[in-house]
Amino acid sequence: MYKRSTDLSRLSESFFLWGPRQVGKSSLLRKQLPDAFWVDLLRADEFMKYSTEPHRLREELARWPKDKWVVIDEVQKVPALLDEVHGLIESRRLRFALCGSSARKLRRGHANLLGGRALRRELLSLTAQEVGSEFDLERALNQGGLPAIYSSENPRDKLRSYCADYLKEEIAAEGLVRNLPAFHRFLEGAAISDTEQLNFATMARDLGVSGPTVKSYFEILEDTLLGKMLPAYRHRPKRRLELTPKFYFFDVGVAGYLARRGHVARGSELFGKSLEGWIHHELRAYQAYRNPDLELSYWRTSTQLEVDFIVGKMDCAIEVKGTDRIRSDHLRGLKEVAKDYPQVRRRMVVCCESRPRITEDNIEILPWRHFLQELASGKLLR
């Protein structure tokens, strides 16, 4: 098992652990909370028991010691259990680890989200640091970071199963969409648009549905933790900026399979797109595990000058290029952002060059390995 970057055993309060299916939430909880009372709502017998009689949880925990954890896996499947959890936290001071792959059903059903009585934690697919010495960039860009798929000898088959069995059938089974064929087409279109600005109107025309429907589909992807909007940077603009968000799938392997990219090879245009998606994932993991208040955004002018990622309030401006030779035209966005925001602390291009260097304009050219090392060590934002 890969050593994950988040240590849940150190928490002293109840918490929600959110993350897409198969990122390793259950495995992590079983390893870090080995003596917990376990409720697995993916099991048909437990689902039926607690669906019809949620009070059974209270009865089963009547003598459970308060210094030991209670884990409820896939808690969104039985929202009524959260009322029992709330009561047990208040009356018995029991500690709960509430694991889920979607908050949509809970929010839409006005379920009890415990009113701040539980912390919020996330688990994402594997990072380069978690994979360690086994990490291979080309493998990661093609297979993604889901633990069972990254380590598989048949990753294509596993990705096919994941996308077919979970992304399509299970989302349909949850009743999240009515027009399933349109949603299937949307998934492919959303994957093709991965890392790019969203255009709801264009996608709606292509799918033959309304703009609000496309927007609701993207909301489903966010609520089921399958993707994340990256907002445009808006802090004190000095020129007209693009304000439409960009969208990133949670896993570059899943995005690649849905978009039918095939094998992504170094030097190809798709390699750069996939690399950008992977760097976004690494930044998101840093945010989730080490600095939840960190702001991530992108910067783009109306004249199409762009910087892929803005970290914080111009603490760091990052452009991602999948090439081993950075040219002057690759630096245009980073040069322009410094004119509007001279306080920007670091500007860098993350790329495939072999050695780090600094240009005359004080722009850092960082090989992707050096970037990930700085991110893992915390030096990137110091």
Q: What gap in Å lies between CA 274 and CA 280, rounded to an integer?
A: 10
Q: What gap in Å lies between CA 177 and CA 185, rounded to an integer?
A: 13
Confirm if 47 and 22 have CB atoms less than 8 A apart: no
My answer on whether 115 and 246 are in the same domain is no
Q: 169 lies in a domain?
A: yes
pLDDT mean over 352-371: 97
Q: What are phi and psi of 305, to 5 degrees?
A: -80, 135
Q: 1 lies in a domain?
A: no
Please name which of 248, 251, 253, 250 lies closest in space to residue 142, comparing C-alpha atoms.
Answer: 253
Query: What's the CATH number where 19 sits?
Result: 3.40.50.300
3-state class (DSSP) for residue 75:
helix
Task: Name the amino acid, one letter, at 268.
Answer: S
Q: 194 lies in a domain?
A: yes
My answer on whether 82 and 45 are in the same domain is yes
My answer on whether 204 and 342 are in the same domain is yes
Alpha helices in 44-179, H assignment, sequence order = 44-52, 56-60, 81-92, 104-108, 128-131, 137-143, 147-150, 155-161, 171-173
Q: Which domain holds residue 243?
A: 128-381
My answer on whether 209 and 290 are in the same domain is yes
My answer on whether 154 and 227 are in the same domain is yes
**Residue where the block lists tokens 């009322």:** 83
My answer on whether 117 and 183 are in the same domain is no
**Mean pLDDT score across all residues of the chain:** 91
The C-alpha angle with vertex 70 and arms to 64 and 76, in degrees rounded to 5, equals: 135
The domain boundary, picked from 93, 122, 151, lies at 122
Q: 31 lies in a domain?
A: yes
pLDDT mean over 150-173: 83
My answer on whether 51 and 171 are in the same domain is no
- What confidence tier does 312 reach under pLDDT thresholds 50, 70, 90? very high
Q: 27 lies in a domain?
A: yes
Distance of CA 35 to the CA centre of its chain: 29
Pick the residue with more confidence: 237 or 338? 338
Q: Is the pLDDT of residue 97 over 60?
A: yes
Q: 222 lies in a domain?
A: yes
My answer on whether 135 and 150 are in the same domain is yes
- What confidence tier does 96 reach under pLDDT thresholds 50, 70, 90? very high
My answer on whether 114 and 151 are in the same domain is no
My answer on whether 208 and 357 are in the same domain is yes
The domain boundary, picked from 62, 96, 122, lies at 122
Q: 245 lies in a domain?
A: yes
Number of domains the chain is built from: 2
My answer on whether 293 and 370 are in the same domain is yes
Q: What gap in Å lies between CA 353 and CA 375, rounded to an integer?
A: 18
Three-class SS string for 245-293? CEEEECCHHHHHHHCCCCCCCCCCHHHHHHHHHHHHHHHHHHHHHHCCC
The domain boundary, picked from 95, 122, 149, lies at 122
